[in-house]
Amino acid sequence: MQVTLITDIQGQSLLEEEKTWLNHAFLGGIILFTRHFKSREQLIALIREIKSINPDLLITVDHEGGRVQRFREGFTQVPAMGKLGVLYETDPEKAKQLATAAAIVLAYELQEVGVDLTYAPVLDMDYQRNTVIGDRAFAGDQQTINVLATCFMQGLKEMNFPVVAKHFPGHGWVNLDSHVACPVDERSFADIEKQDLQPFKQLLPSIDWMMPAHVVYEKVDSEPAGFSQIWLQKILRGQLGFKGRIVSDDLSMAGAAVKGDYKARAQAAMKAGCDVLLACNHAEAPLEILTALETLSATPFDLTNYKPALTLSEHKQAYMSALALLAELE
């Protein structure tokens, strides 16, 4: 199968050893975090340095707004999507406008510094049980999620940004954090399908990448969704007919550690159906996975077709209008 890795670097500039694997055939992109950011100028310089070594790499970030906004100084503070969900209850039209505006602002400002993709939106339901999800979710009901996520996706599409939906088939019910544990969802498939699965299903035509959860849905499969052939091949690919990329959640998370070392995690994710592997926040992960991929039955592919192809100047007015809308929310 085809597979590629998106991983991170350690600091705000490249280490010499990192430069040696940036051109690896199985490396498709870099993900950046707050620790990589000191200022806009430094971030631009870092991205330029990465692209000077390998211009084909997709530069990505987990940048949703609210609590999960990796770059702040010099960037617009975009509200948490849950705040828009609350507004939707009293002013649905304004909330819809702001959802589109939030995506335009995020995408425009990210592309200004050289970022090509953000892992958004969150389509999980907020049951007020999981603080890791919480107000990252648009709401606790399907209708609000579907409406506002559609508007957010339209904003990303207007800026030619890919839509990355997470965390399939829904992370909101469990009360543990998959960054530090392997949560178990005890509900039946019928309950999950009736509730959490619906936003993913309804919005599927607009989704380019799908990120599964590091959650075990024990009445469906004993494997976490990101390592589950049932969830990714039988349900997502087979029943729902998803044709886009499946990107694993971070293979360094505790929810993935149940599979063993990094080679075992990569192999398990690939076998389940992930074709983009994500591994970050662990210095040994990049080289271990890249070396492992050389020995597995896989062929590399690049992600250059997901780079936004637009001239920012042509979208300046849309950006300014979106900024003005967000300012009204404050």
| Helix or strand (DSSP H, E) at 29 | strand 27-32
- Distance of alpha carbon 136 from alpha carbon 142, whole angstroms: 15
Q: Any idea which residue has 């649905």 for tokens?
A: 92
User: Residue 278's beta-bridge partner residues?
Assistant: 6
Q: Tokens for 198? A: 């619906």
Q: Within 10 A of 270 (CB to CB), how many other CB atoms are there?
A: 21
CA-to-CA dists, residue 86 to 37, 93, 96, 146, 261, angstroms: 31, 12, 12, 14, 42
Q: List all residues 6 or more positions away from 2 whose beta carbon is below 8 Å from its beta carbon.
A: 275, 298, 299, 300, 301
Question: Among all residues, which ones are annotated catalytic?
Answer: 179, 249
User: Distance between CA atoms of 320 and 315, rounded to whole angstroms?
Assistant: 9
Q: How far apart are CA 280 and CA 272, in angstroms?
A: 20
CA-closest candidate to residue 252, choices 283, 217, 212, 218: 283
- Count of CB atoms situated within 10 Å of the CB of 143: 12
Residue 108 tokens, joined? 């425009």
**Spatial distance between the Cα atoms of 91 and 252, rounded to a whole number of angstroms:** 41
| Distance from C-alpha of 213 to C-alpha of 132, rounded to nearest angstrom | 12
d(CA 266, CA 256): 10
Q: What is the largest CA-CA distance in the chain?
A: 56
Residues 113, 71: Cα–Cα separation, whole Å: 11
